[in-house]
Chains A and B, each alone.
Chain A
């Protein structure tokens, strides 16, 4: 055994839970040769010295200084901090966050009429959950419900979040395009175990998904302009809308406002 191995063994014994076998092994090593015994004794003295490291008392003014500095800062505000229902969401890992967001979306949508193609404002709680899960500003989200699912859009100055909720097993195809061009996918977030695929070309994004999914789109040159949406489920067209971000409203691509 090399000196390095000997030292490693010693410190493993020192750090780890007491293991009789390892202690006995070290004791046997110590007795095996004077040099090994001397080195182990030296290590033992270092260990004893380190174990004797003592804390010193912090200066009494420390706590008072912190208290005084905080008194001059604004208190955290229960209405603006990460509080209440949002904290469990932030505490969760990403899959759980998305599941939480999905659950929130389902609950919010349960209260909304599922009449085909009906436009409805999104509950503020849903807006917050969605923004929290996707880490984008929540501005004017609107939903379009279709049989078996919904499409929710949220948009800020240069990004769009399109969130599709649908049962797994249904093949969804969402096409996004802008008369101004410039769309680029920034991120795709699967919600649940469904597969998804994103393709881009000619200023059009095509999202194919098996189950719920969200996509964050950088709008580029399309920022501020309308977006054309086409959605099919299992090969059947179910939505063809132009989204006006200023209203925000949807118009059927044949011109009828929704």
Chain B
């Protein structure tokens, strides 16, 4: 199954093969977890959101339209779950508090950790909607059109949100008086 396309795995799941869905979880758990982590700002919520997103996808798989890309669909579910959690909590924690650092070499670790901390803190002060477009663009490398499908807004709105979010990030990082 490892070489099967996403839509093949969806079809196999719909035909009763649970292991096919497990394969999809394996493919997208990193993306969904990181999206949830950046939006919610803590690891417990990110884990809950990721699990809820995959279960919702499984339950609603019959509604997935194979004319579209599976990753856009699962990203959208994950994003909405994360935004729901943030909306319920009404608190925006600084992300540096809980987001663990990625693996890095010894020399890079201190410098990267400090840079990542500042960026994480600045990201955490953006609204969830602005945070989402930054994460989808810069962490996941999605195009404007792909982000538009995930977020459910026109591509020109994505471009506008990205511009505003980056401007705010630049302003915050510059206000700290240190190089980002």
A contact set with B: CB distance below 8 Å: 7-8, 11, 15, 42-43, 45-46, 48-59, 61-63, 65-67, 69-71, 73, 75-78, 81-83, 87, 90-93
Contacts and interface: CB of A to CB of B under 8 A. Distances in A.
Contact of A49 (B13, B37, B55, B180): B180
Contacts of A70: 18, 21-22, 55, 58
Given A70-B18, A78-B16, A56 B170 contact: no
Given A54-B102, A73-B58, A91 B65 contact: yes
A233 B102 CA distance: 73
Interface of B: 11, 13-18, 21-22, 25-26, 29-34, 37, 43, 47, 50-51, 54-55, 58-59, 61-63, 65-67, 99-102, 112, 115-116, 118-119, 134-135, 137-139, 144, 162-163, 166-167, 169-170, 173-174, 179-180
B163 A52 contact: no
Contact of A76 (B62, B119, B137): B62
B174 A66 contact: no
Contacts of B47: 59, 61-62, 65
A81 B11 CA distance: 10
Contacts of A50: 119, 134, 138, 166, 169
Contacts of B139: 53-55
A48 to B, nearest CB: 7
A82 B115 contact: no
B116 A66 contact: no
A11 to B, nearest CB: 6
A215 to B, nearest CB: 26
Contacts of B11: 83, 87
A7 B54 contact: no
B16 A75 contact: yes
B99 to A, nearest CB: 7
16 contacts: A15-B162, A42-B170, A46-B170, A46-B180, A49-B115, A52-B115, A52-B119, A54-B101, A58-B34, A59-B33, A62-B33, A70-B22, A70-B58, A81-B62, A91-B67, A92-B67
Contacts of A55: 30-31, 34, 102, 139
Given A42-B170, A43-B170, A59-B47, 7 more contacts: A49-B115, A52-B112, A52-B116, A62-B29, A62-B47, A66-B29, A70-B18
A55 B34 CA distance: 6
